[in-house]
Amino acid sequence: MDSESRMQDKEPADAQMIALDTARVILILRKALVSVAVLLVAALMLAASSFVLMPKNNQAAFGMIHQEAHGILGEPAESIDVVFIGDSETTSSVSPLQIWGEQGFTSYVCATNGQKLPYSLALLNRALESQTPKVVVIEANSVYAPFSFKDCIERELQNAFPVFEYHDRWKEVSAEDFTSAPKTTWVDPLKGFYINEKVLPAHAESHMRPSDSVEKVPALNKWYLSLIVNRCREIGTVPVVVATPSTICWNTARHSGMSEAAKDLGIDFVDLNTGPDRVEIDWSTETRDAGDHLNYQGAIKISRSLGNLLKTTYQLSDHRKDDAYRHWNEALDSYRKIVPNTQTDN
C-alpha cells in the first residue's frame, strides 16, 4: 500500500477520534454546567431562607443569638474606640461605662460564654461593618479555647448563610420576616458587661506560681489569632491580647505560651495576673465562683486599671465633654442607678 492510500485510511480514523474527543468535552461541559446550576440554585435558596430567618433586629426578642454581644450594632456608627472580644472572663471583668466615667473613651464588650476564635472573628467583622475602633482587645483565655477545623467550616457557612445559625427560627417566622430587611436599633445599657455581686472565695495560694512549663497556643488557634490580628491591621486598628485575672483559667505556663505567640505575631500582650500590669485581686471577696470569674467588685479594679492602661498606651481621646457623645453620659447616669456604689469620676 502506497503512502497516499495509508493517509486516506488514517483520515477517517483521525476524524472519529476528534469526534469522540469532542463528544467527551461536550459531556464534561454539560455535567459542569449542571453542577454549576445546581450550586447556584442551592446558593439562591440558602440566601433566600437566610433573609427570612435572619432576626429582624439585634435583640433576643427577635431571635438574635447573644444579643449583648450584638448590641454594638445599635451604637452610632464610628463611635466606639475600643472593642473587646473573648469569653465570659471579659464580660465579667470589663465595664465600659465605668471606663467611660473615669477615662472618657468609648468601648464595647463583644464577648460571649465559651467564645472560640472563629466566632470572635465573626463578631469582630460584624462590629467593623459600622465601627473602626482604635484598639481591639482579645481575651487571652479565649485564645486557648479548643476548636476543630470542622468548627471553622461550620462558622464560615454560618457567616455566609445565616440560615445555618438561625434555622430554629422557622417556628417563629411571620409575614414581616419575608418582607422586612434586618435592622439594628437596640443598644445594650451595659455595653456588653455582666454584673454579678455574688461572692464565693477562691484558694489562690498557688496562683501564678513560678514554673518553667510553657503551654503553647495550639497551631489552629494561633492561625485564627493571626487572622484577627491581620484584620485589625487592615483598617489601622491596634490588636492587643489581655489576660484578665482568674485562678482557674490562667497560670504561668499559659502566660509564657501567650508571651511567645504575641512576640511571634508582633502584638502587645498585657497580663493582669502577674508582672508590672498585675492587678491585686482579693480572692476572698472579689470572685463570684471560686476564682473562675470576677464579681462586680473585682471588675471595678480591672476596669479602672485597664482603662487607664489603654488610654495611656494608645492615646485614646476623652469625649466626655463632646456633645456628640452625650448619650454616653446619659447611659452612665442610668448605670449608676443600677449599681449605686459605682466608683467613677465624671
Question: What b/e string do you get for 42-71 counting C-beta neighbours within 10 Å, with b at 16 or more?
Answer: eeeebeebbbbbbbbbbbeebbbebbbbbb
Question: pLDDT under 50 in the chain at which residues?
Answer: 7, 342, 344-346
3-state helix, strand, coil in the chain (%, to 5): 55, 10, 40
* Architecture of the domain made up of 54-338: 3-Layer(aba) Sandwich (3.40)
The C-alpha atoms of residue 244 and residue 259 are separated, in whole angstroms, by: 14
For the chain, which residues make up each domain, given as ranges? 54-338
Task: Summarize pLDDT for 49-97 with one digit per residue, the tens.
Answer: 656 567 778 899 888 899 999 999 999 999 999 999 999 999 999 999 9
For 85-127, the pLDDT digits (tens) are 999 999 999 999 999 999 999 999 999 999 999 999 999 999 9
Count Cα neighbours of 59 within 13 Å in the Cβ-side half-sphere.
9
Residue 155 cell numbers, joined: 462558622
